[in-house]
Amino acid sequence: KPPPTRLLRPTSPAGAGEDAEDSVLLRFIVKKKPDRSYLQPYEDATRRGGAGFESQLWMSKEAQSTRFGVLCDLGRFSDRVVADLGCGVGDFPVYMQEHRPESFPKSYIGIEGVHAMAEHARERIELEGIGRTLIEVGDFVADESLPDLLVNDAGAEVFVFSGSLNTLVQDRAQVVLARFWDALARSGRGTLIFNFLSLRHNKERTPANPPAVRFDPVVMLQWAIERTPLVQLRHEYLGGHDATIVMDVAATTEV
């Protein structure tokens, strides 16, 4: 589908003759279509099979549960407002209610860029009777105002990225993460926790399969520790296939 086109025809200058308007060149301004290539694999999967576990392109439900367990171990979610960026079909709040109720946050806000997934997540949350949970449609990559909105208006204290960085290249993921980290740092409090596919893995057992992108955990750890001394890395829980980093705002952190 081509990008939308807007036709502008400037008014004739004062005193111009009848032919002046006809001689004015028509100017076409083509609005650049937003780059949503990072969402395309999920949108394609949703169109093929509907919104569900498979449309999130997870390796397996068991691996997803392992990741969620690590997030709960590191994130200290209880009594805090948690924003889950790229929440998919709502698997994480369902997991916490069923398996880690002590970790369920004071308030959970799920942000999802694929509309059908967000709708499915809302239906699941209602069906499961999960309280203190809100699902919103939003693009955490494109919407640069989202981090401050979540911190200042929604009171978010923890930002979670679980699997939602997998279709971004490493440099772009760092730009996105920095935006959310800076919002927390400006507030003087908070935690950023994210997982990603690791380059330091057993390539025979877990080959890189596009559209998934793998990051170097050493580079990502260095990126994190340049921003705060309060950093943890977990790399063992899926045999090196996956990594999780958690960053806490320190009193001396500067933006």
How much is the pLDDT for 30? 36
Residue type for position 94: V
83 pLDDT band (50/70/90 cuts)? Answer: very high
| CA separation for the pair 5, 26 (Å, rounded) | 13
Largest CA distance in the chain: 78
Question: Residue 124: inside a domain, yes or no?
Answer: yes
CATH number at residue 110: 3.40.50.150
| CA separation for the pair 157, 62 (Å, rounded) | 28
Question: Residue 241: inside a domain, yes or no?
Answer: yes
| CA separation for the pair 165, 92 (Å, rounded) | 16
Question: Residue 113: inside a domain, yes or no?
Answer: yes
Residue 85: count other Cβ atoms within 10 Å of its Cβ: 27
Per-residue pLDDT tens for 137-159?
Answer: 999 999 999 999 999 999 999 99
Question: Residue 50: inside a domain, yes or no?
Answer: yes
40 pLDDT band (50/70/90 cuts)? Answer: low
Closest-CA residue to 213 (of 22, 25, 57): 57
Question: Residue 11: inside a domain, yes or no?
Answer: no
- Per-residue tokens: 108: 């959970």
What pTM was computed for the model?
0.79
Question: Residue 9: inside a domain, yes or no?
Answer: no
- Per-residue tokens: 184: 């927390």
How much is the pLDDT for 18? 44
Question: What DSSP designation does 150 have?
Answer: H
State the sign of the Cα–Cα–Cα–Cα dihedral 142, 38, 247, 226: negative
Number of domains in the chain: 1
Give whichever of 11-25, 29-43, 112-126 has the largest mean pLDDT.
112-126
- Per-residue tokens: 180: 């959310």
The structure tokens 């980093």 sit at 245
Question: Residue 146: inside a domain, yes or no?
Answer: yes
Please determine, for residue 242, whether its predicted confidence score (pLDDT) is greater than 90. yes
Question: Residue 183: inside a domain, yes or no?
Answer: yes
Please determine, for residue 215, whether its predicted confidence score (pLDDT) is greater than 60. yes
The structure tokens 């260095």 sit at 222
Residue 39 to residues 5, 13, 142, 196, 248, Cα–Cα distance (Å): 23, 46, 11, 16, 28
Q: CB–CB of 111/136 below 8 Å? A: yes
Alpha helices for the chain (secondary structure H): 18-23, 40-49, 61-75, 91-99, 115-128, 146-152, 170-187, 217-225
The residue segments making up the domain with residue 206 are: 40-248
| CA separation for the pair 10, 186 (Å, rounded) | 44
